[in-house]
A and B are shown apart, each in its own frame.
Chain A
Amino acid sequence: MELLSYEFAQRALIGALLIGVLAPLVGIFLVQRRLALLGDGVGHIAITGVGLALLMSWSPLPAALLVAVFGALFIEVLRDRSRVAADVAIAVVFYGGLALGVLLVSLAPGGASTKLNTFLFGSLSTVSMSDLWVLGAMTFLIILGITFWGRQLFVAGLDSEVAMVQRIPVRVLGVVLSVMAAATVVVGMRVVGLLLVSGIMVLPVAAASQFGRSFSSTLGWAVLVGVVCAVGGLLLSFQVDVPPGPSIILGALVVFILAVSWRLVRHLQGARA
């Protein structure tokens, strides 16, 4: 492809690869804990961070990361320490973050709304080298975290009470996962946008769960689906001149539908036999 000879396209490809690997790696632990919409909640509160940055003329990435981490921790505390159910905690942060973010943007200097759109829906083609270094470093740190704590995260997500008896720091791991989710959302912000980043965290996992028989095999398939959809969606968007973010998510949705259909066909074949 001729377009890939351009630097912006190469940077976009690297950005897509990073999120394709990272998002399902973190997403599988969220789906395991029935927190599939946590990425959405965190994504929406990150809008507050972006709005604040646009208002104060700060760099959006650190502001979004700070607010996203705060939002993720707030959800975790609400869920763990109060009577508020997980879905309600996410909704609180979701609507509060979106409302506050839009309000802040309305107070920001002219042109802020256009800039906000690039964060809401992604702007892969405008990813800079410095953006890539930051995204790459965050991806590396998160993968390192999962390498060290992945097994404990799995056990704590599987059965928190048995994990506590086994002296696994369940609450600390909840906080660690929240921070990882927040960081993943911010990495995904430039690639697929804050409104869609939860899709790339959840859909590859949902697709892989249809044909995986174990957690580890599902993880492997989810990362493969994530990478294929992220890179495939990007290349498709270059070909037909559509935004990459929605292309990537729709690609993941198509894979999920195919996976569910395959499982249904197998189930029907098994029933007939």
Chain B
Amino acid sequence: MTPQLKARDVSVSLGGATVLKNVSFELSKGEFLAVLGGNGSGKTTLLRALLGLIPISAGHVDIAASEVAYMPQRLPNIGSVPVSVKEFAEAGAVRGVRAGVKPASVQWALETVGMWPLRRRSVDSLSGGQQRLTMFARALVNRAELLMLDEPSAGVDVEHQNEVVSCLQTLKTQNTSIIYVTHELGLIEPLVDKVLVLERSERTSVEYFGALPLPRGIYADVHHHHDDAALSLGSNLGVSHADLSPLLKS
């Protein structure tokens, strides 16, 4: 079966510096790929390179999916003219020079993320989490075959995170392929088929590509560093290791 997306030895240079080196992976129909990595490892750069938003300096990207939807990491600069939640979501339905927008799809997308009651509010009046949900709704509207999401749950409360996860679960069963950039798996772990862990390296940016669980030492070191920091902070605040244990990742 032809993969929905195939990346072979993709490298990206920005401002003279190599940001990504020799990234290779495949994504089949209906698969869920989580992209993990520390700050500056190139997760967002990878997504933008796959979408052709920035040029790749080497390698190939083949996307078989006819419809791709993208949710960036940051809200666009809305500027001085207000935009309503409904208009923002509708923007996801506009393709090429076709202007058709199916109202039912927009309603479905906004209802899925719990933003339909706020559809007439202006986007800049929303909280950060609500803005993320609206951006997610925009990506859902056209029911694309391939979804590329950059930290969709950042700043979103647990209740709405569950709604996002539930939506992604449904889309997976409908054969939507999903690339999900995140710092940690959290609630999406049960959906993940493959993990791509990126790191800054001279040889290759790929620390690991494959199924869960992550092999020992891969990305787990990041969790241990978090734990060390948490223990150190706890010690300074007079909180015991025993009290902190349930919160530690290792």
Given A214-B86, A214-B120, verify A206-B80 contact (CB < 8 Å). yes
Closest B residue, CB atoms, query A154: B91
Task: Report Cα–Cα, A238/B75, bound state, in Å.
Answer: 48
B237: chain A residues within 8 A (beta carbon): none
Q: Is B77 part of the binding interface, using a Cβ–Cβ cutoff of 8 Å?
A: yes
Interface residues of chain A: helix, strand, loop or mixed (majority): helix
One of B53, B91, B121, B122 near A158 (C-beta < 8 A): B91
A167 to B98, CA, bound (A): 10
A34 touches B77 (CB 8 A): yes
Question: Which residues does chain A contribute within 8 Å of B51, judged by CB atoms?
Answer: 161, 164-165
Specify which chain B residues have a CB less than 8 angstroms from the CB of A157 in the assembled complex: 79
Contact between A32 and B96, CB atoms less than 8 A apart: no
Say whether A166 contacts B79, CB under 8 Å.
no
In chain A, positions 191-235 with a C-beta closer than 8 Å to chain B are 205-206, 209, 212-216, 218
Q: Complex Cα distance A120/B47, Å?
A: 49
Q: Are A215 and B83 in contact (CB under 8 A)?
A: yes
Tally chain B residues at the interface, Cβ within 8 Å. Answer: 33
- For B54, give the chain A residue with the smallest CB separation: A161
Could you tell me if A166 and B95 are in contact, using CB atoms closer than 8 angstroms?
yes
Residues of chain B within 8 A of A215, CB atoms compared: 81-84, 87
Please encode chain B, from 62 to 99, with 1 for each CB lying within 8 Å of some chain A CB and 0 for all others: 00000011101000111111111011100110111101
> When each residue 23-37 of chain A gets 1 if its CB lies under 8 Å from chain B and 0 otherwise, what string results?
000001001111010
Tell me the nearest residue of chain A to B69, going by C-beta: A165
Please give, as numbers and ranges, the residues of chain A lying within 8 Å of B78 by CB-CB distance: 158
Chain B positions within 8 Å of A33 at CB level? 79
Whose C-beta in chain A lies nearest to the C-beta of B67? A166
A155 near B94 with CB under 8 A, answer: yes
Q: Which chain A residues border B132 with CB–CB below 8 Å? A: none
> Measured between C-beta atoms, what is the minimum distance from A148 to chain B in Å?
8
Contact with A along B44-66 (1 / 0, CB 8 A): 00001001110000000000000
Known: A155-B94, A215-B87. A28 touches B81 (CB 8 A): yes
Specify the chain A residue showing the minimal Cβ separation from B120. Answer: A213
Distance A11 CA – B78 CA, assembled complex (angstroms): 39
Nearest B residue to A149 via CB reads: B97
Q: A158-B88, A168-B95 are in contact. Are A32 and B79 (CB under 8 A)?
A: yes
A165-B70, A214-B86 are contacts. A32–B81 as well, Cβ < 8 Å?
yes
Interface size, chain A (Cβ < 8 Å): 32
Flag if B82 contacts A209 (CB, 8 Å): yes
Given contacts A34-B79, A159-B76, contact A216 B87 (CB under 8 A): yes
Cβ contact within 8 Å between A214 and B79: no
- A229 to chain B minimum Cβ distance, whole angstroms, is 18
Residue A118 CB within 8 A of the other chain: no
- Minimum Cβ distance to chain A for residue B146 (Å): 10
B21 to chain A: which residues have CB within 8 Å? none
Q: Mark A152-175, 1 if CB is under 8 A from B, else 0.
A: 101101110111111111000000
The one of A36, A152, A205, A214 that contacts B94, using a Cβ cutoff of 8 Å: A152
State the CA gap A253–B83 with chains docked (Å): 23
B contact residues around A168 at 8 Å (CB): 94-97
Query: Given the complex, which residues of B lie within 8 Å of A149, measured CB to CB?
Result: 97
Given the complex, which residues of A lie within 8 Å of B194, measured CB to CB? none
For residues 89 through 132 of chain B, which have their beta carbon under 8 Å from a beta carbon of chain A?
91-92, 94-97, 99, 101, 120-122
One of A162, A165, A169, A205 near B81 (C-beta < 8 A): A205
Which partner residue on chain B sits nearest A213 by CB separation? B122
Select the residue from B53, B70, B77, B91 with max chain A CB neighbours within 10 A: B91
**Chain A: CB-nearest residue to B139:** A162
- Given A152-B99, A165-B69, check contact A213 B91 (CB 8 Å): no
Q: A151 at the A/B interface (Cβ < 8 Å)?
A: yes
Task: Give chain A residues whose Cβ lies under 8 Å from the Cβ of B68.
Answer: 165
B138 near A: Cβ within 8 Å?
yes
Question: In whole angstroms, how far apart are the Cα atoms of A242 and B83 in the complex?
Answer: 38
Q: A205-B81, A215-B82 are in contact. Are A159 and B122 (CB under 8 A)?
A: no
A-B contacts besides A154-B87, A169-B96, 7 pairs, CB < 8 Å: A34-B77, A152-B97, A165-B69, A168-B94, A212-B81, A213-B84, A213-B120
A-B pairs with beta carbons under 8 Å apart, 24 shown: A32-B79, A151-B99, A154-B91, A158-B76, A159-B72, A159-B76, A161-B53, A162-B72, A162-B138, A163-B94, A165-B53, A165-B69, A166-B69, A166-B142, A169-B96, A209-B80, A209-B81, A209-B82, A213-B84, A213-B120, A213-B122, A214-B87, A215-B81, A216-B87
**The 6 nearest A-B residue pairs measured at CB:** A214-B84, A159-B76, A165-B70, A151-B99, A155-B91, A167-B96
